[in-house]
């Protein structure tokens, strides 16, 4: 849950707070939980709702550029995070620029698509369980994941191309 919230929010402190709130809510609602075999989906649903709420609040409250020279909005606000939102923790250290491009691409996507993509690509959750987490049909989940993948690729390529053009202009 913490890794998921961190990838969505891009901020360690916010991920800590949301993770804690997920488990506080789970503990207070435990007695009324009837589907204990779907505990994982239930926890992810709580986390997703809390993250989306926080992202919406950020959008209303704070517009901050991702880098000092970028004009993009920052729905994934971060002061000192390393930007490891989508890349799995493989033990290696991916290029910082690549992590920043991933972060920017996710930030430029609508929240419901970013959530679907992180659940699928970063968390490895099957689309049937994503459907349960997001309270949508399995077909809608598969469609949303497919669209999210296309959106991500388009955003990532655009951001990468902008980076190349900036480098060419500075040379």
Question: pLDDT per residue over 150-162, tens digit each?
Answer: 999 999 889 888 8
Local confidence band at 171 (pLDDT 50, 70, 90 cut-offs): low
Closest CA to 114 of 37, 58, 35: 58
Mean pLDDT, the chain, whole residue set: 76
Closest CA to 10 of 120, 99, 89: 99
The answer to whether residue 141 scores a pLDDT higher than 90 is: yes
Structure tokens at 44: 């992810």
Q: What local confidence, expressed as pLDDT, does residue 72 receive?
A: 38
Which range (5-9, 117-121, 145-149, 159-163) has the least confidence? 159-163
pTM above 0.75, yes or no: no
Local confidence band at 121 (pLDDT 50, 70, 90 cut-offs): confident
Local confidence band at 96 (pLDDT 50, 70, 90 cut-offs): low
Closest CA to 162 of 71, 49, 68, 30: 71
Which range (115-119, 137-141, 158-162) has the least confidence? 158-162
The answer to whether residue 27 scores a pLDDT higher than 60 is: yes
Beta strands in the chain (DSSP E): none
Collect all residues with Cβ–Cβ distance below 8 Å to 134 and sequence separation of at least 6.
Answer: 45, 48, 112, 115, 116, 141, 144
Q: For 138-155, what is the mean pLDDT? A: 94
Collect all residues with Cβ–Cβ distance below 8 Å to 64 and sequence separation of at least 6.
Answer: 73, 74, 77
Higher pLDDT, 166 or 93: 166
Residue that has been written with the tokens 């999210």 in this structure? 148
Distance of CA 71 to the CA centre of its chain: 20
């Amino acid at each position: 849950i913490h890794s998921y919230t961190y990838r969505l929010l891009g901020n360690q402190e916010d991920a800590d707070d949301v993770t804690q709130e997920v488990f506080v809510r789970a503990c207070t609602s435990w007695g009324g939980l009837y589907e204990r075999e779907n505990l994982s989906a239930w926890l992810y649903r709580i986390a997703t709702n809390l993250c989306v709420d926080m992202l919406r609040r950020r959008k209303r409250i704070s517009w901050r550029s991702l880098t000092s020279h970028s004009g993009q909005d920052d729905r994934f606000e971060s002061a000192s995070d390393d930007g490891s939102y989508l890349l799995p923790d493989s033990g290696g250290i991916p290029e910082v620029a690549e992590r920043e491009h991933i972060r920017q691409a996710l930030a430029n996507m609508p929240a419901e698509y970013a959530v679907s993509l992180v659940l699928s690509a970063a968390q490895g959750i099957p689309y049937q369980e994503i459907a349960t987490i997001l309270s949508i049909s399995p077909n809608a989940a598969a469609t949303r994941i497919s669209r999210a993948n296309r959106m991500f690729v388009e955003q990532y390529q655009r951001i990468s191309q902008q980076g190349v053009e900036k480098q060419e202009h500075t040379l």
